[in-house]
Structure 1
Amino acid sequence: MRLSTVILPIHRWADGQKIWRRAEDLGFHAAYTYDHLSWRTFRDGPWFGAVPTLTAAATATRRMRLGTLVTSPNFRHPVTLAKELISLDDVSGGRVTLGIGAGGIGFDATALGQEAWTPRERADRFGEFVPLLDRLLTEDAVSHRGAYYSADEARNIPGCVQRPRLPFAVAANGPRGLKLAARHGQAWVTTGDPKVNGTGTPDQSVEAIRGQLGKLGKACAEIGRDVADLDKILLHGFTPDRNRPLDSVDAFVDFAGRHRDLGFTEIAIHWPIPDSDFAADQAVFERIATEAATQLR
């Protein structure tokens, strides 16, 4: 099992670059960031763009993979996003993973002046967004006329460093999203079952996630794909345990081991942020990064 981290884009780069470098020094497999315009309790504080932050991180690191958890259609267009991703993949030397999801009802949903989309509208847009982005990242020139997105001979030469394109980690819970993960994803991402995360128990969460994995397996089987071909990524911090697994190395190893046994290949933990939902002891966090990762391997 691989251990990764999520560094929220809340730091001016003079300070932020030290965190990204430290993450690499600690041996994290990947460091991700959120791709939002603002987010929850951080709305009225500093919040920087994901792609510029990752570009800067690409120049400050050498080995660690980089990515978004997650990008969504809420304020993105496939044509412009593809150009940015190809550029980022080039700057990083082929170390980028695109975490991508349908989006939600947060601040991004109305930031461009539109009404928030319904769950059905988000699913419809996501269902067009992902296949078009796939084409844009693998073909030199793409034309497309869709219900929501269009491209007119969009050029993306020379393409990604990673071939045939950089990997997609698709965040999905519903049947349509899981089908997209099965068809286009190199990985699947979950934060757990939203119905259980709020009021359920850790054991109920594990069983709910087991059910999600079963549905992913069914979606893969329907197109003749082996579900084992997909990496499974758990974004930690939202299951009923919340941040308790970060209280000690033993607590984290127990938490991660239970999810490894379900079939997860990677867990991403948030870099500690004092006085927030992601508060944690920095010294314990760094011990988890080194000691727990070794135990889990």
Structure 2
Amino acid sequence: MSDSNTTDFTNPSTFILLGIPGLEEARVWISIPFCAGYIIAVLGNFTILFIVKREPSLHVPMYYFLCMLAVTDLVLSTSTLPKMLSIFWFNSREISFSACLTQMYFVHSLSGMESGILVAMALDRYVAICHPLRHSTTLTNSVVAKIGLAVVLRSGILALPYPFLARQWPYCRTNIIPHSYCGHMAVVNLACADIRLNSYYGLFDLLSVIGMDAFFIAVSYTLILRAIFRLPTKDAQLKTFRTCISHLCAISALYIPDLFSSLMLRFGHNVPLYVLILINCVYHLVPPVLHPIIYGVRTKQIRGRLLQLFTHKKI
């Protein structure tokens, strides 16, 4: 370790990201699935955006929300994966203090946006199933735009304290971050100060974003299932429920890895550090990869348009 990493400093000009400590010898092999996943995420989400833009029949609230989710997934994966791959391939581990704080902000704000968009999509499903005659008048383009703006503002504002809280502390131990990206706690754990305020705010943010969103989604689907079970025939029930499957899969792709990652970080004290970091990195890759696949496979209009693109035939 160089002297610059161990001597006292208050404001480090750069941090050193270690990638996945303990798996340095396997980093080229580890990079292969991450690179493949990033390519799939970029191509898949751009394809969703292209198809929705080109297909007038998809200019409805559900697909507007899907486009918001695709843009969020693109920016989220791009905020972490390229730097992660540069560490694996080129040993490019340095990141400036300002860039680190910027990455921190994007990671936390975009994660909250993903969750908020899934709540908006749950609202769309609720109105479409429980109040179908009022769907077009309730979720107008203006309302959809306001919901999207509210999601962005909520997540953007709640994530603002993270870089400001991290910037205020003195860093006198080391500038080496044992991680692949600048997460909030990974950075502030290097500070020579009492960081309980950071921990409390992180818990508040988690409960106010993920906790509340999970609650609203649960309430929406309770009402949706009640409406479905009131339908007269099994065929009608199954047909209506199928319209929710893509959204339920998207929810699972976001919340299950998030829950697993959170539990491992808090209770996996005997788990090696490289396993915890690997799980955390995978969590940021899984939703951007799975969301376009889920909607591409499960949504008839998108699947049909994809077939048209590849076969150049009318379906």
Q: TM-score normalised by the shorter chain: which range applies?
A: under 0.3
Computing the radius of gyration over CA atoms, which structure comes out larger, 1 or 2?
2
* Structure whose residues are more often helix by fraction: 2
* Structure whose residues are more often strand by fraction: 1
TM-score by length of 1: 0.25
